[in-house]
């Protein structure tokens, strides 16, 4: 059994240290109130058993809490007092410098918590270590100076989660919907260099990757671009290639038919599109931003976004090439094709591609094949999104279709209906048209719904009272995020605020006007709806008797967001948090506060957002239909999924799920597996097994347990992770049941 030290490093559990600590406290009190050696032995053994029952690596603090309780359970209150006093004294000494140990453990790569904090960051790399070190300093400053004490205490207790505090000291925001169209068509500036409108598709792709890298280095969340913004440059290249072909033919004195010329032009154009898409694919995978990872980028594929029929055909060509290259994958260091984490792909299901016989059905079938092998793309239903996302003046069924910013964070519809009169001064502004590209999210704070339920003791009136208090606490924390961005000058991130990614403000101009009126959003996250409902009702929220309570919880959070929005003119929006490491943190905090409660706190994770619990037996179609109602109540972002086996030989089943998504839910994905063992060449699903109280990844063919010698890709929170996960998330992955 392992334990986590205060600096994040992992060591083997040693009962002798407990014996020694309790003995020291025992010897410090008067002889008449001391415990016997046998009692001390029993205390130590009971603590060891309690740690084993956790099913994960306990922290030093958790072990010390168990020791305190065990001493008091024996009635040795004077010994307990001595032990508590010693802990307090040591705590004061540690507080004199809160970051040194953690930073040193980062440098030596023995901080297990940080290693597993982000499934797409390799903590052994210098750039990642540098980012984590800066993050530790930022967390410390935020904790001691910038944030209210009540917010810090609630965050540390796992009552709420103040996301990305490692970037809070800087004036940075969460995620973006990049206005790539404006930047390509009207020029931009990168690192002080003017970048004019590209004269070919391949150049446009190259510039796009540079923009992606720059944006990623100036915020800390996800970003999205649309392939539609690259589509006009296919025609630019077509015309350029035609001119070159005609010159070549003239030089050779050849006069072929128009049909032959067009055939040669289209062949060369296809080759350029292939090279341009490859530029995006490989540069995104190989680029490393200032935060030590590949850019968290989502690529949007929406045919009906094209301005005319020719552009739509050109866009289809780009989409086809994107899907083909993603299906192929990328080669690892051994030259084996594997699944990359990024770019994330989103494919929009539309009337002209969703059924066999429609013009672009071939793209949908290709998307299904890609999903079965590489886990992407994810799917947005044009039909359902047009029902839900209604800008000012729009009617249900005629709303807007746009991509999320990263993995699931969605902008609110344009409540101005006309792009806020171009408050951002974009050069591609279209009066009277709703605006999405160029907008962003200010940040996220998540409420732990499980803690609300457990704190109520199953008393309904008390639940709503505590819920109200916790929501207001989240509100104050979100206001901190908003206030931190106020006064930020455009000079802080020129690519974002001055050169078109989000705005074209003047140098030295504050960004404040972009923080109000709904231009940007700010997110109230939530986690653990399943466990919350299960504790309060005794049933899963999929049970018809418990579902009304679950919906009332969702509605309450929406009502609060509307209340705050009305009062402050800021678009608060409810967001289904993509818990990665936080799922483990919340679970540990719940166990510390409430102990092990069967079905509620007895696992090392809690459920993401409104999702059906991963162990619950339910078929794919029932799950998607059920979750669709909850997704609609999570307008700030959410994604549903179905867990499926290897579907590469059953593409028709994948297509059936995709068609069901189109008719029933706005945004969903299929979770498959894509692993490779570098030791024996096994190409299948790597197993998760328990080894000395810890979950480890094991090749089922050769028994390899070395994570550095295997490639594992899993979708964990709406996006693919490839650098392994903490024990809580690993247990959640292990517990998943198939829905198909």
Integer Cα distance of 258 and 234 in angstroms: 20
Q: Which H, E and C letters describe 706-719, residue by residue? A: CHHHEEEEEECCCC
Catalytic (active-site) positions:
174-175, 405, 407, 409, 441, 575, 580, 718
Of the pLDDT bands very low, low, confident and very high (cuts 50, 70, 90), residue 36 is very high
DSSP category for residue 720? E
User: Burial code of 308-327, b = ≥16 C-beta within 10 A, e = fewer?
Assistant: eeebbebbbbbbbbbbebbb
Percent of the chain at pLDDT exceeding 90: 71
Question: 95 pLDDT exceeds 90?
Answer: no
What confidence score (pLDDT) does residue 204 get?
98
What confidence score (pLDDT) does residue 111 get?
54
Integer Cα distance of 665 and 646 in angstroms: 23
DSSP 397-451: TS------SSSSBPPPP-SSSSGGGGTT--TT--TTS---TT-EEEEEEEEEHHH
Question: 153 — phi, psi (to 5°)?
Answer: -65, -40
Integer Cα distance of 145 and 193 in angstroms: 38
Percent of the chain at pLDDT exceeding 70: 93
Between 67-76, 99-108, 183-192, 551-560, the lowest mean confidence (pLDDT) is in 99-108
Integer Cα distance of 597 and 459 in angstroms: 17
Question: 529 pLDDT exceeds 60?
Answer: yes
Strand partners, 338: 330
* Residues whose CB falls within 8 Å of the CB of residue 656, separated by 6 or more in sequence, listed in order: none
User: Burial code of 537-575, b = ≥16 C-beta within 10 A, e = fewer?
Assistant: beebbbeeebbebbbebbeebbebbeebbeeeebbbbbb
Instruction: Read off the tokens for 271.
Output: 């080759």
Integer Cα distance of 692 and 689 in angstroms: 10
**Predicted confidence (pLDDT) per residue in 150-173, tens digit:** 999 999 999 999 999 988 988 999
Report which of 329, 225, 320, 213 is spatially closest to residue 273, judged by C-alpha positions.
320
Mean pLDDT of the chain: 91
**Predicted confidence (pLDDT) per residue in 562-575, tens digit:** 999 999 999 999 99
Contact 110, 66 (CB under 8 A): no
DSSP 357-403: TSTTHHHHHHHHHHHHHH---EEEEHHHHHHH---TT--TTS-----
Report which of 467, 457, 451, 727 is spatially closest to residue 593, judged by C-alpha positions.
451
What confidence score (pLDDT) does residue 109 get?
57
Strand partners, 188: 195
Instruction: Read off the tokens for 204.
Output: 């446009």
How many C-beta atoms surround the C-beta of residue 690 within 10 A? 11
In sequence order, which ranges of 77-231 are alpha helices (DSSP H)? Answer: 77-95, 100-107, 112-115, 126-141, 149-156, 180-186, 201-216
Contact 140, 187 (CB under 8 A): no
**Predicted confidence (pLDDT) per residue in 123-155, tens digit:** 666 666 667 677 777 888 888 889 999 999 999
Mean pLDDT of 392-396: 96
What's the predicted TM-score (pTM) here? 0.87
Integer Cα distance of 720 and 724 in angstroms: 10
Integer Cα distance of 119 and 720 in angstroms: 8
What confidence score (pLDDT) does residue 100 get?
60
Question: 52 pLDDT exceeds 90?
Answer: no
Between 86-90, 352-356, 533-537, the lowest mean confidence (pLDDT) is in 86-90
Question: Any idea which residue has 């999205």 for tokens?
Answer: 224
In 651-709 the beta strands, taken as DSSP E runs, fall at 667-671, 674-677, 687-691, 694-698
**Predicted confidence (pLDDT) per residue in 69-83, tens digit:** 899 888 888 888 888
Contact 605, 587 (CB under 8 A): yes
Sign of CA dihedral 203, 205, 208, 212: negative
Greater pLDDT, 288 or 19: 19
Distances (CA, A) of 264 to 57, 203, 315, 319: 63, 21, 20, 21
Integer Cα distance of 454 and 600 in angstroms: 9
Q: Which H, E and C letters describe 157-181, residue by residue? A: CCCEEECCCCCCCCCCCCEEECCHH
Element (H, E) at 3: strand 2-4
Integer Cα distance of 563 and 502 in angstroms: 27
Question: 117 pLDDT exceeds 60?
Answer: no
What confidence score (pLDDT) does residue 549 get?
98
Q: What is the CA radius of gyration of the chain?
A: 27
Question: 728 pLDDT exceeds 90?
Answer: no
Report which of 700, 690, 736 is spatially closest to residue 715, judged by C-alpha positions.
736
Of the pLDDT bands very low, low, confident and very high (cuts 50, 70, 90), residue 91 is low
What confidence score (pLDDT) does residue 101 get?
63
Instruction: Read off the tokens for 484.
Output: 């931190």
Mean pLDDT of 49-62: 84
Question: 121 pLDDT exceeds 60?
Answer: no
Question: 108 pLDDT exceeds 60?
Answer: no
Q: How far apart are the first and last CA of the chain?
A: 36
Question: 427 — phi, psi (to 5°)?
Answer: -85, -5
**Predicted confidence (pLDDT) per residue in 269-321, tens digit:** 999 999 999 999 988 888 755 555 678 899 999 999 999 999 999 999 999 99
Instruction: Read off the tokens for 354.
Output: 């969703």
Question: 118 pLDDT exceeds 80?
Answer: no
Integer Cα distance of 711 and 15 in angstroms: 36
Distances (CA, A) of 194 to 187, 212, 441: 7, 16, 27
DSSP 561-626: HHHHHHHHS-EEEEEE---SSHHHHHHHHHHHHH---TTTTSSS---BTTPPPTTS---HHHHHHH
């Amino acid at each position: 059994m392992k334990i986590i030290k205060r600096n994040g490093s992992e060591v083997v559990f040693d009962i002798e240290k407990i014996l020694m600590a309790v003995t020291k406290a025992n010897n410090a009190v008067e002889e008449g109130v001391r415990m016997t050696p046998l009692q001390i032995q029993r205390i130590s053994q009971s603590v060891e058993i309690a740690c084993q029952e956790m099913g994960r690596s306990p922290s030093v603090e958790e072990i010390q809490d168990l020791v305190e309780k065990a001493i008091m359970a024996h009635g040795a209150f004077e010994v307990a007092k001595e032990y508590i006093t010693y802990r307090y004294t040591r705590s004061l000494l540690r507080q004199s410098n809160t970051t040194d140990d953690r930073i040193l453990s980062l440098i030596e790569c023995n901080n297990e918590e940080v290693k597993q904090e982000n499934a797409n960051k390799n903590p052994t790399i210098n750039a990642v270590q540098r980012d984590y070190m800066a993050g530790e300093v930022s967390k410390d400053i935020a904790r001691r100076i910038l944030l209210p004490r009540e917010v810090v205490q609630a965050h540390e207790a796992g009552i709420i989660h103040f996301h990305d505090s490692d970037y809070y000291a800087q004036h940075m925001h969460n995620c973006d919907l990049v206005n790539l169209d404006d930047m390509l068509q009207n020029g931009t500036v990168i690192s002080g260099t003017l970048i004019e409108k590209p004269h070919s598709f391949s150049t446009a792709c190259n510039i796009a990757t540079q923009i992606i890298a720059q944006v990623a280095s100036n915020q800390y969340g996800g970003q999205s671009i649309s392939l539609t913004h690259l589509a006009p440059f296919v025609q630019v290249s077509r015309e350029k290639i035609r001119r070159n072909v005609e010159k070549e033919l003239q030089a050779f004195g050849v006069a072929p038919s128009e049909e032959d010329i067009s055939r040669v032009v289209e062949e060369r154009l296809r080759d350029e599109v292939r090279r341009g898409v490859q530029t995006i694919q490989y540069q995104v995978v190989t680029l490393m931003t200032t935060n030590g990872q590949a850019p968290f980028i989502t690529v949007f594929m929406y045919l009906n976004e094209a301005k005319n029929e020719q552009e739509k055909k050109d866009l289809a060509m780009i989409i086809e090439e994107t899907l083909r290259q993603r299906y192929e994958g990328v080669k690892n260091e051994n030259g084996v094709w594997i699944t990359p984490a990024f770019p994330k792909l989103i494919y929009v299901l539309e009337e002209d591609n969703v059924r066999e016989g429609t013009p672009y059905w071939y793209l949908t079938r290709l998307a299904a094949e890609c999903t079965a092998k590489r886990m992407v793309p994810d799917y947005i239903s044009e039909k359902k999104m047009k029902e839900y996302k209604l800008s000012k003046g729009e009617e249900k069924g005629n709303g807007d279709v746009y991509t999320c910013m990263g993995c699931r964070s969605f902008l609110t519809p344009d409540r101005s209906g006309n792009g806020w009169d171009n408050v951002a001064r974009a050069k591609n502004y279209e009066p009277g048209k709703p605006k999405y590209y160029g907008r962003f999210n200010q940040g996220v704070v998540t409420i732990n719904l499980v803690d609300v339920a457990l704190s109520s003791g199953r008393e309904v009136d008390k639940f709503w009272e505590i819920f109200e208090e916790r929501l207001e606490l989240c509100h104050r924390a979100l206001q901190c995020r908003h206030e931190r961005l106020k006064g930020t000058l455009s000079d802080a991130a020129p690519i974002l605020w001055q050169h078109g990614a989000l705005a074209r403000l003047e140098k030295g101009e504050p960004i404040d006007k972009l923080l109000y009126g709904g231009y940007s959003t700010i997110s109230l996250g939530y986690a653990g709806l399943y466990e919350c409902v299960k504790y309060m009702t005794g049933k899963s929220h999929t049970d018809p008797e418990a579902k009304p309570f679950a919906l009332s919880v969702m509605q309450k959070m929406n009502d609060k967001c509307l209340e705050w929005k009305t009062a402050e003119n800021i678009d608060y929006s409810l967001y289904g948090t993509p818990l990665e490491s936080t799922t483990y943190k919340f679970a540990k905090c719940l166990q510390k506060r409430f102990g092990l409660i069967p079905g509620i706190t007895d696992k090392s994770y809690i459920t993401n957002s409104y999702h059906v619990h991963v162990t619950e037996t339910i078929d794919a179609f029932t799950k998607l239909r059920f979750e669709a109602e909850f997704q609609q109540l999570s307008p700030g972002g959410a994604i549903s999924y179905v867990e499926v086996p290897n579907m590469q030989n059953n593409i028709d089943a994948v297509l059936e799920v995709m068609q069901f998504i189109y008719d029933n839910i706005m945004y969903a994905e299929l979770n498959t597996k894509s692993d490779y063992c570098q030791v024996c060449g096994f190409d299948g699903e790597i197993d998760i097994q328990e080894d000395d109280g810890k979950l480890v990844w094991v090749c089922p063919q050769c028994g390899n347990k070395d994570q550095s010698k295997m490639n594992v890709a899993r979708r964990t929170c709406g996006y693919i992770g490839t650098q392994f996960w903490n024990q809580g998330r690993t247990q959640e992955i292990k517990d998943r049941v198939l829905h198909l």
